Structure 1
Amino acid sequence: MQINKGLIFVGKKSDTSKTKDNIYFNEEVKNGKPYWFQVMVDGKRVTRRGFRTRTEAKKARDELTVDMNRGSYIDPTKITFGEYFLDWVNNRSNIEETTRELYLSFHERHVKERIGKIELSKLAAMDILKFLKYLKTDANSRTGKGLGDETVRRMYATINTALNDAATLDIIDINPVSKLPKNERPRVEKKEREIWNNDSVKLVLSSSKGTTRFWIAYFLAIMTGMRQGEILGLKWADIDFDKRTISIRRSLQKNTTTLKKVKTRKSNRVISMSPLTAAFLLEHRDIIDVEKRILGKQYQDNDLVVCSRLGTPARANKVLEMWYNICDKYKPEHEPKITYHDLRHQSASIMLNEREDIRVVSERLGHSTVTTTLNTYSHLLPTGQEKAVLSLDRTIGFDIE
């Protein structure tokens, strides 16, 4: 089948079966992306693999055809890594817009100048190694030092995923990251979360009540273990005061006023709330009702539990700023400075120290598995060794002469 500008559809029959529209299916592929196509572009074979459905593969092939007809097709052997990376980021459909913006900032601040001008087909493991060294040592323009371990690890993982996709689509033969020695791949040392003792938590909450409209957000973080975005996206319709439950259905995107559905089935959950939590929420609702009456039409009723004076979504940075003000004023000197997000970990630590069932704690936190909870909070779990050593005494022990 001939298409303009020398575009011819071809395919290998040895390891595939052909579906209609000249899209091929590889039965041996185990990653859930068995569909592929291959075309000849001006005498060169161009292959695109890694499509979940025939329709997805056909769409990609048709887009390639359009690019050819417009003259905007770029030979994969000539495209730079920077050009490919931008195209990869902008065309991903399974990431949040905030994540896309983060990836684009990676490109603008670091990738473009350091490895962005290298042809994708010529990008080597040594290039990646030098780039990682730059990130670790002097990528921070403000301090003249390297970026934090978590940032370096995130950037490395993003580039690795982009190159994996390029290899899957047969744009490159192999991902150069796979050739890096294991000891050169970024690691993040696991750090235990800093938490306060229970008396300090009680002191700060009781002392700061009434000092800010966002106080209920900090109280909910400790009493429910909800994520920051989940609290800022909570609506009164999500709360059943008769059953004393909270349904977590949405989240506020970080530093925006955009509400979105929670990402996973585990995050979409119903949790119980204590009588004290219900009482403080009702008190908070009464305050908002008064504001509505005073402001009248000026009030934008979004049904949000945590909101601005006008009823609009509360920005995360403003809520965090007010939390730090509370810490500066009421936190005992011996306690470390913790973030608003750390209050969620404070909630988990209280429950685990009270020997609550790990499965219940995991469910309340919305973790994907109990293993996630164990990996995060294993240092807080009672070890049971006290009981174990006593059983050894009873079995083996004898009097000391």
Structure 2
Amino acid sequence: MASIYKNEKAKSNPYWFQIMVDGKRVTKRGFRTKGDAKKAMDEIATKLNKGEYVKESSMTYAEYFTSWLDLKNEVADSTREMYESYFRIHIEPFLGKYLLSNLGPLHIQKFIKHIKDKGLSDQTVKRVYSVVNASLNAAVRMEILTKNVADKVDKPKVKRTERLIWSEQSIKEFLERSRGQSRYWIAIFLAVMTGMRQGEILGLMWSDIDFDKRIIYVRRNLRKDRNTYSELKTEKSRRQIHISPDTTEMLKEQRYKQEIEKKYAILKGTPYDDNGLVVATQKGTPAKSTKVLKAWKTLCHKYKPAHEPDMTFHDLRHLHASILVNDNHDIVSISQRLGHSNVTTTLNTYSHTMVKKQEAAAVALDKIFDFGFRKSDKASQKHEKDN
């Protein structure tokens, strides 16, 4: 038996109904008209008849999200930390208190507006929304919910902006001038020459380098500001990177410096914990990412060319890729060096760089086919000059 009621004291959305589910009354409130209430009630009745109705959960979204993330074993540690951070800072304070079953599209839409109003970048807003969307998709798959309300909203859009990076000459001059000015200079050098992520560079061990074949084997990621390692971002992140002769020699020089440091520490009786890392502290322990970033900022302050824009440490990875794209290296090889999950990611990230080559490509077609127009233009110009 089902009935529709009206709350005469309600200022808005006064209609509500009750319907029997498995011998218990289920109440649904907040409908603007009697027709809206009847439509929702009929949908439940239809699903009951088909055996498709999912009982509403009494858990809050915060409780559900925590359980969902705990059960996600396939994500990399860095991704899990990002999810936890988004949940703690943005998601839980706004959505956490609602019952999972009571979440509606309006809640999600308001949440998106809320985090936009906090001044987050378009990219971050989209990522936070994607985490919420993924969690609700999982709730549907596990038959906790019948539908994902996040699918019903206007999804955040990202305005693609071109990353401002330095010219090849500027980064060359910067590396030359800043060399020897920080023990973490080698991390900056490797970012430029290999395109590795910061965590991959800080987790790189001497045993990961084949000096004879000039290959770096990317095998681990140092967790941010911790002395522990995590799984790499994707399976493709576990890769081989061929390095240049100069990079090989620079790494040999770095290894020699560390051997001298170690011997000096032993002579002084100073503790030295050799972790076999390419980038390490004076005690041989893993370098914190904050220390490396501080070194990068300090060196930029002293040696950055005045006409160049500010860059983050991560932008060095994009600089590496852009140099290779501009030098006409094939996109598959670049994608493999970067450890992207697929070539599409590389194409989407560096499409703006490839667009710049279209003018040169168009001119190249003229050189191939040569319809004679350029000769005519030259003849016309000579004729005008002679007259």
Q: TM-score, normalised by structure 1?
A: 0.74
Aligned to 1:361: 334
Task: Verify: 1:312 aligned to 2:324, yes or no.
Answer: no
Aligned to 1:156: 129
- CA–CA distance in 2 between the matches of 1:173 and 1:398? 70
1:12-68 deviation digits (Å, cap 9, x = unpaired): xxxxxxxxxxxxxxxxxxxxxxxxxxxxxx978xxxxxxxxxxxxxxxxxxxxxxxx
Task: Verify: 1:135 aligned to 2:115, yes or no.
Answer: yes
Q: 1:359 to 1:300 in 2, by over 3 A?
A: same
Aligned to 2:18: none
2:301 to 319, 328, 349: 328
How do 1:113-128 residues align onto structure 2 when only pairs under 5 Å count? 113-128=93-108
Task: Verify: 1:106 aligned to 2:86, yes or no.
Answer: yes
- CA–CA distance in 2 between the matches of 1:101 and 1:264? 15
Structure 2 residue runs without a partner (length 5+): 1-21, 25-54, 381-387
Aligned amino acid, residue 240 of structure 1 = D
Q: 1:397 to 1:169 in 2, by over 3 A?
A: same
* Alpha-carbon contact 1:90-1:100 (below 8 Å) kept: no
Structure 1 residue runs without a partner (length 5+): 1-41, 45-74, 141-145
How do 1:52-131 residues align onto structure 2 when only pairs under 5 Å count? 76-131=56-111
Q: Which has the higher contact order (CA 8 A, sep 6+)?
A: 2
Task: Verify: 1:302 aligned to 2:282, yes or no.
Answer: no
The percent identity for this pair of structures is 46
Q: State the SS of the aligned residue for 2:371.
A: helix
Aligned amino acid, residue 190 of structure 1 = R
Q: State the SS of the aligned residue for 1:246.
A: strand
Aligned to 1:386: 363
- CA–CA distance in 1 between the matches of 2:145 and 2:110? 20
* Alpha-carbon contact 1:300-1:312 (below 8 Å) kept: yes
- CA–CA distance in 1 between the matches of 2:223 and 2:182? 22
* Alpha-carbon contact 2:184-2:292 (below 8 Å) kept: yes
- Which structure would you say has the larger Rg? 2
Q: State the SS of the aligned residue for 1:93.
A: coil
- CA–CA distance in 2 between the matches of 1:275 and 1:325? 28
Please identify which structure carries the higher helix content.
2
Q: 1:356 to 1:112 in 2, by over 3 A?
A: closer
Q: Report the Cα offset of residue 189 of structure 1.
A: 1.6
How do 1:201-216 residues align onto structure 2 when only pairs under 5 Å count? 201-216=171-186
Q: TM-score, normalised by structure 2?
A: 0.77
Q: 1:392 to 1:209 in 2, by over 3 A?
A: same
Number of aligned positions between the proteins? 321
- CA–CA distance in 2 between the matches of 1:107 and 1:371? 29
Q: Report the Cα offset of residue 98 of structure 1.
A: 4.2
Q: 1:102 to 1:356 in 2, by over 3 A?
A: closer
How do 1:278-289 residues align onto structure 2 when only pairs under 5 Å count? 278-289=248-259
What CA RMSD, in Å, does the superposition of the two structures yield over aligned residues? 2.3
1:268-298 deviation digits (Å, cap 9, x = unpaired): 2222211111111111111100111111261
Q: Which shows bigger deviation, 292-301 or 318-327?
A: 292-301
Q: 1:249 to 1:43 in 2, by over 3 A?
A: farther
Q: Report the Cα offset of residue 395 of structure 1.
A: 6.5
Q: Report the Cα offset of residue 392 of structure 1.
A: 6.0
